[in-house]
Amino acid sequence: MVTVRAMTDRDLAAVAEIEQATFATPWPAAAFAQELHGNDCAHYLVADANDQVVGFGGIWIVTDQGHITNIAVQEDYRGQGVGGLITDGLIALAEQHGVVLMTLEVRRSNLVAQRLYAKRGFVARGWRRGYYTDTGEDAIIMCREKRGGVIGWIHPGDRNILR
């Protein structure tokens, strides 16, 4: 059975291993340690399958906004709902902290992750051109507003609102 719980120091080696196997410019274990101990905004969860860490995800929460930093699942556990559990855990954590707007960046080509987020109410709102330095790929910015939230969206035709 897979459960989602808060990341601790004991998870750092396993988390760094998944990170290394997953991302082109991986964070070292020390970066996750810094997140756990030196960043009051940061909250990290791991997916635990019978005492084995098989995935993780993180979010920075500042006032009423939450930014998902990373989510990764060990390759042989993908497609079994683990990424969904982690994302649901981050959404629940954010809502417990009063977050009304969640944001994240995802590679334009990463349709699996985009589908995962879209199923949970995230909507593509914009992009950052050439955001990923390894390939120069654009990031799609996805946002999830808590129902009944207070954030308004400015559309290109609404520029006068800013004056």
Ligand X SMILES: CC(C)(COP(=O)(O)OP(=O)(O)OC[C@H]1O[C@@H](n2cnc3c(N)ncnc32)[C@H](O)[C@@H]1OP(=O)(O)O)[C@@H](O)C(=O)NCCC(=O)NCCS
Residue spans of beta strands (DSSP E) within 39-146: 42-49, 52-62, 65-73, 101-107, 123-132, 137-145
Quick one: tokens of 88?
């649901």
When the beta carbons of 119 and 125 are compared against ligand X, the nearer one is 119
Nearest to 44 by CA among 95, 76, 8: 8
- Range 118-145 burial, b when 16+ CB lie within 10 A, else e: eeeebeeeeeeeebbeeeebbbbbbbbb
* Binding of ligand X by 123 (CB under 6 A): no
Determine which residue in the list 73, 90, 93, 99 makes contact with ligand X, applying CB under 6 A.
73
When the beta carbons of 115 and 125 are compared against ligand X, the nearer one is 115
Residue type, 1: M
Residues catalogued as catalytic: 105, 117
CB of 88 to ligand X, least distance (A): 9
* Binding of ligand X by 110 (CB under 6 A): yes
Count of residues near ligand X by CB under 6 A: 18
* Binding of ligand X by 120 (CB under 6 A): no
* Binding of ligand X by 20 (CB under 6 A): no
* Binding of ligand X by 115 (CB under 6 A): yes
Q: Which stretch binds ligand X (CB under 6 A): 30-38, 82-90, 93-101, 124-132?
A: 82-90
- For residue 11, how many C-alpha atoms fall within 13 Å in the half-sphere facing its CB? 24
Determine which residue in the list 8, 39, 79, 149 makes contact with ligand X, applying CB under 6 A.
79
Q: Which stretch binds ligand X (CB under 6 A): 38-46, 65-73, 93-101, 155-163?
A: 65-73
Determine which residue in the list 7, 11, 66, 83 makes contact with ligand X, applying CB under 6 A.
83
Residue 120: helix, strand or coil by DSSP?
coil
- DSSP code of 26? P
- DSSP code of 146? P
Contact residues for ligand X (CB under 6 A)? 22, 71-73, 78-84, 106, 110, 112-113, 115-116, 119
